[in-house]
Structure 1
Amino acid sequence: MSALPSFDQRRVRERFNRAAESYDRHAAVQHEIGRRLDERFGWLKLEPARILDLGTGTGQMVRAMRERYPKADVIGVDLAEAMLRRLPRRRWWSLHRQGVVADMHALPFVGGSMDAVVSNFAVQWSDRPAALFAEVARVMSSGAPFAFTTLGPDSLVEVRRAWAAVDPSPHVHQFLDMHDLGDALVGAMLADPVMDRETVTVTYPTVDALLSDLRGVGVGNTQSGRSRGMTGAQAWRRFREALAEQAVDGQIPLTYEIVYGLAWGTGVSPVPQEAHGMVGG
């Protein structure tokens, strides 16, 4: 598996904190894929007591898991505290939202404490997927499922192509293919990984509408090697023109390669079983 460019985690956190209020208005793709991910749990015979939603955002999968498993304790983890403030309350009369601010590479839970782990559109924000999956394996009980979605390398190709016509420096994140992700699951001592993919294409009438959706869900260049200067007006104009030139019948496409993964906890992990700190309330 080739090394991924590192992310500026402070920048990632800032972007998602800013996007918390707008996220749900722009996250049609994320919500639809989350719905499809939830449907896959219908194939599994589970009675989980404790479920972790990794990279929970505004809590779509928390809601889905609570509806599917009403007796389960569902905990959302996210790097952005503003996202967690939008989680649903555990009970209508309670102020408790059951969210924990944490880096998904260092989860504050004891080993073997989760009966299922779910993650929708979060794994692509890891520049160390082997470490991430090892940490997931650590907190999972033996036989627990880890079901996730992430983006494959054909995602956002239109944006990548438009920037390549303007500036050779990186502007769009790299995404691993499903085979590399499957290898990382095996390396994390998770069992029987199953990977599959589908392509979803969304179309927009204008460049502004496309970019508004991307900004609204927190997408932006957070690679540590990104240019630190402001993008000049001329380069930005050329980028927008290159994006508009890809329109078909007046609609600008935006491609998502959706990768689905499923693997099972074995009760062992490449990392020690101790938690990284205490769980917040």
Structure 2
Amino acid sequence: MELSPGEQPWRHQVLQRFDRAAPDYVEHAGLQRAVAWRLAGLCRRQPLPRGRWLDLGAGTGMLADALETLHPGQSVGRLDGSEAMLALQSQRQDTLTWDLQQGLPSWPERPQVLASSFCLHWLDDPCLRMQQWYGALAPAGWLALALPVHGSFRQWHQAASASGQTCTALPLPAATSLLEAVPARAVRHRSLHRFTTQARTVAALLRPMRRVGAGSTPVEPLGVRAWRQLSRHWPVPESDGQFRLTWTIQILLLQR
């Protein structure tokens, strides 16, 4: 008998939802695509050594594809816990289904570059995972990361506070805690970027999260009535009649 969402282990729910969302991911992951290309563009400006490059939590391959496009001749291996996502990769010859909650696989040689976008915040203890990824690099290797951090979803938190409802947005790590998890000398680039999405209704505003499989949360879900109350307290739409949701994205480039 299949367990209900509330009874299933948290990480199992996450992978299940990404598997189900795989066919629609590319169509609805505009923000993820934009961040992947921004991270890849920043990598192009750094002296990244050739060798084994890997995209951790590669999904459908947005970051890996961007890195290969901007670094001709360099292949990027792709790891993800979702077989359905990996099945949509443009490059299938170097993919591995791997649950990153279990750490990293072993390789014959240490990777020169580990890159990851919109993945780390889904793992237990993101700061510890980042330390492990950093430690897995070859000497002088690079870790390139992009992920949403604390400070995201300001409007959602405001609405929850004003309505007396629980904010069911995924808890996110603080940007400062990520920086404290690695040696200061390792940081070659750090930046925070804010992206704002908009829609005519709160339901439409949050729908892309569910469409890409990112609707999972360890917080008890709200009922229909609670959602309606929360929506009524969402910050008033601006003059264009659009509701808004702001993401804060941390980008880090680290060299071992």
TM-score interval (norm. to shorter): 0.7 to 0.9
Alignment equivalent of 2:190, drawn from 189, 195, 200: 195
Alignment equivalent of 1:206, drawn from 201, 210, 224: 201
Match of 1:247 in 2: 237
Match of 1:131 in 2: 128
Alignment equivalent of 1:260, drawn from 234, 251, 256: 251
Counterpart residue identity of residue 186, structure 2: A
Q: Secondary structure at the match of 1:219?
A: coil
Alignment equivalent of 1:173, drawn from 170, 179, 185: 170
Deviation at 1:108, TM superposition (A): 1.0
Q: Which moved more, 1:117-126 or 1:154-163?
A: 154-163
For each residue in 1:65-86, what CA deviation from the matched residue of structure 2 results, as whole angstroms up to 9, or x when unmatched?
Answer: 2223343331111122211111
Q: Secondary structure at the match of 2:229?
A: helix
Q: Which moved more, 1:165-174 or 1:53-62?
A: 165-174
Q: Does 1:150 align with 2:141?
A: no
Question: For the residues of structure 1 that align with 2:45 and 2:77, how far apart are their CA atoms?
Answer: 22
Alignment equivalent of 1:76, drawn from 59, 78, 101: 78
Q: Secondary structure at the match of 1:20?
A: helix
Alignment equivalent of 2:27, drawn from 14, 25, 41: 25
Question: For the residues of structure 1 that align with 2:188 and 2:222, how far apart are their CA atoms?
Answer: 41
CA shift in 2, pair 1:61/1:25, >3 Å: same
Q: Kindly indicate whether the alpha-carbon contact (under 8 Å) linking 1:246 and 1:253 is maintained by their aligned counterparts in 2.
A: no
- Aligned length, in residue pairs: 247
State the identity as a percent: 26
Q: Secondary structure at the match of 2:100?
A: coil
Unaligned residue ranges in structure 2 (runs of 5+): 1-8
Q: Kindly indicate whether the alpha-carbon contact (under 8 Å) linking 1:85 and 1:97 is maintained by their aligned counterparts in 2.
A: no
Match of 2:4 in 1: none
Q: Kindly indicate whether the alpha-carbon contact (under 8 Å) linking 2:80 and 2:86 is maintained by their aligned counterparts in 1.
A: yes
Deviation at 1:192, TM superposition (A): 3.3
CA shift in 2, pair 1:53/1:133, >3 Å: same
Unaligned residue ranges in structure 1 (runs of 5+): 1-6, 91-95, 266-281
Deviation at 1:186, TM superposition (A): 2.7
CA shift in 2, pair 1:68/1:194, >3 Å: closer
Match of 1:269 in 2: none
Q: Kindly indicate whether the alpha-carbon contact (under 8 Å) linking 1:196 and 1:260 is maintained by their aligned counterparts in 2.
A: yes
Question: For the residues of structure 2 that align with 1:140 and 1:34, how far apart are their CA atoms?
Answer: 21
Q: Secondary structure at the match of 2:17?
A: helix
Match of 2:67 in 1: 65
Q: Kindly indicate whether the alpha-carbon contact (under 8 Å) linking 1:79 and 1:102 is maintained by their aligned counterparts in 2.
A: yes
Deviation at 1:112, TM superposition (A): 5.2
Q: TM-score, normalised by structure 2?
A: 0.86
Match of 1:44 in 2: 46
Counterpart residue identity of residue 128, structure 1: D
Q: Which moved more, 1:77-86 or 1:102-111?
A: 102-111
Question: For the residues of structure 2 that align with 1:193 and 1:126, how far apart are their CA atoms?
Answer: 24
Counterpart residue identity of residue 99, structure 2: A
Counterpart residue identity of residue 42, structure 1: R
Deviation at 1:246, TM superposition (A): 3.0
For each residue in 1:200-219, what CA deviation from the matched residue of structure 2 results, as whole angstroms up to 9, or x when unmatched?
Answer: 11221222321221211222
Deviation at 1:168, TM superposition (A): 4.5
Q: Kindly indicate whether the alpha-carbon contact (under 8 Å) linking 1:105 and 1:132 is maintained by their aligned counterparts in 2.
A: no
Deviation at 1:161, TM superposition (A): 2.6
Deviation at 1:105, TM superposition (A): 4.8
